[in-house]
Structure 1
């Protein structure tokens, strides 16, 4: 090698002390067998994005603070495509039941691969290379509300939300989500093979509906299969700890559903973390879904 040749540092080298946490977060947005995902890197962390039919988008945010090592050397924000199923399955090979397996992630490799390597002091070292692609399209961005406008929102316990959406499968068509300020409540109504309505009353049962913000009647319809995708693959830990899932209805009926998924090591996980204050201080990945309504309205 001549003195004029310079070995460029990878765009990113990072280490995570629990690969299972990353598997859980990415699995939450895996709603079908074959999905293409786009990964965006920045000095702030890693974002994985998946979309379907231009109507449903999901993002997993893993902030740089979640990693025990995060060396970012790129200019700008590199993006690349990858098979979500292949990525999750590959990460799973590094996970040892009952053992908080650590992993190193590097991009790019010599042939623009995503490189995975175990970093535990075990006898065997696991190594994987995942082929990446150039993204064909640019993901659509959720447009936030103008400054000074507070979107309508509520937080419902994840276990109750999953039970409600599972029950709504019977109508099997579309789901109307209605928020009304008096009495303050949220209604999920399914119409199709039959009718089914599930009400969450604020103040009546604050154990289920923990936060509510709405100053006028708001109602929008969403495809059931997309709404179900927001909850169907949540890690069991989110359901068992009964965390809250936040719904926000913005301009034009755009629905954002946000979950918080722990990526902490098993030894760091604290039992009985049932309140927002308790688990926000832990290592949390943000999982967000964005759903466009079936019929646009003139509410906004």
Structure 2
């Protein structure tokens, strides 16, 4: 059989996104240092990007298929590959234009297992990018987040206020203690190792920073500052401008889950070069979900834990 008669294999995924800036914002939110390798998992439900550090911190970005104008998934098994997060974000950023929504197509795999990007904004010119992928060294481990009891231990705070509180407590090598108290309902962030700096958030009918609070008993856990700061260090301006809330939940053993919602806006006008699916048109929420899991520091057997 001649080579011209051989059909090329269908890509595992071909998807189109109307506004690449939303994806840049979402991935930048988990970019807490210069060199990071991420694991990308593809499925019929969407794209998940996972990062880990020191077995103490894990971040996940969920890009549901409804966020894409087109999402053609053809893989029999769920593809999984590694990629440099910084390179991925920088490549996506080259497709952005200030003040204007720009559309791209993402395809995987290329002929040499690359991740392929292509601009969709013009029939006269086109920008292409290829990102080399790698085989992940390890399997991302499941943090197995479990509730700490029958009543969830959680609170929702304005994202900007959360970032400001964590930034204000900065001290190299320090730890941050998070205390939840049911009466009066409050959350406190206390910097340990450099004095008595503490930030208190009270929950009441007039609260404008603490939006929701669930706690039926006093809870106190300590977290390494550098890992806690990673959860807010690069929140996009779109989250701040829309006054969105971030939800923090303390699970069994003190595991901390931090959740952010990042808007992924649509183009203000239809793009003639983008295939817009019916499910995409009917999708009301244009949100990427960001989750961080932070392990607590081991506590000493002091009076605090008696």
Q: Does TM, scored on the shorter chain, surpass 0.5? A: yes
Unpaired segments of 5 or more residues in structure 1? 269-279
Q: Is 2:107 aligned against 1:106? A: yes
3-state SS in 1 of match to 2:130: strand
What is the CA-CA distance between 1:297 and the residue it aligns to?
Answer: 9.1
Q: Aligned with 2:268: secondary structure?
A: helix
Match of 1:135 in 2: 136
Q: Distance in 2 between matches of 1:171 and 1:181?
A: 31
What residue number does 1:275 align with?
A: none
Within 1, Cα distance between the matches of 2:177 and 2:141? 24
Q: Could you tell me whether the CA contact under 8 Å between 2:36 and 2:85 is conserved in 1?
A: yes
Q: Is residue 288 of structure 1 aligned with residue 295 of structure 2?
A: no
Q: In 2, Cα distance between the equivalents of 1:251 and 1:18?
A: 39
Deviation per CA, 1:187-225: give whole Å up to 9, x if none.
Answer: 100012222111111116421111111111111100111
What is the rounded CA distance, in whole Å, between the counterparts of 1:190 and 1:205 in structure 2?
Answer: 26
Deviation digits for residues 157-196 of structure 1 (CA, Å, limit 9, x no counterpart): 1111111111111476000001111111111000122221
Counterpart of 2:276?
none
Alpha-carbon distance, 1:139 to partner: 0.9
Residues 1-300 of structure 1: matches in 2 within 5 Å? 1=2, 5-121=6-122, 123-145=124-146, 149-170=150-171, 173-203=174-204, 205-265=206-266, 267=268, 281-295=284-298
Say whether the 8 Å CA contact 2:171–2:194 is kept in structure 1.
yes
Find the residue that maps to 2:197 and give its secondary structure.
strand
TM-score (norm 2): 0.89
Q: Which residue of 1 aligns with 2:274?
A: none
Contact 2:151-2:215 within 8 A present in 1 as well:
no
Separation in 1, partners of 2:160, 2:23: 21
Instruction: Determine the C-alpha separation between the residues in 2 that align with 1:296 and 1:9.
Output: 53
Q: What do the CA deviations read for 1:218-247 (whole angstroms, capped 9, x no partner)?
A: 111001111111111000111122110000
Q: Answer yes or no: is the 8 Å Cα contact 1:145–1:151 preserved in 2.
A: no
Pairwise CA RMSD: 2.2
Q: Where do 5+ consecutive residues of structure 2 fail to align? A: 270-282
* CA deviation after TM superposition for structure 1 residue 6, in Å: 4.0
Give the TM-score of the pair, scaled to structure 1: 0.90
CA contact under 8 A between 2:148 and 2:252: conserved in structure 1?
A: no
The verdict on how the C-alpha distance between 1:293 and 1:204 changes in structure 2, with shifts beyond 3 A counting, is same
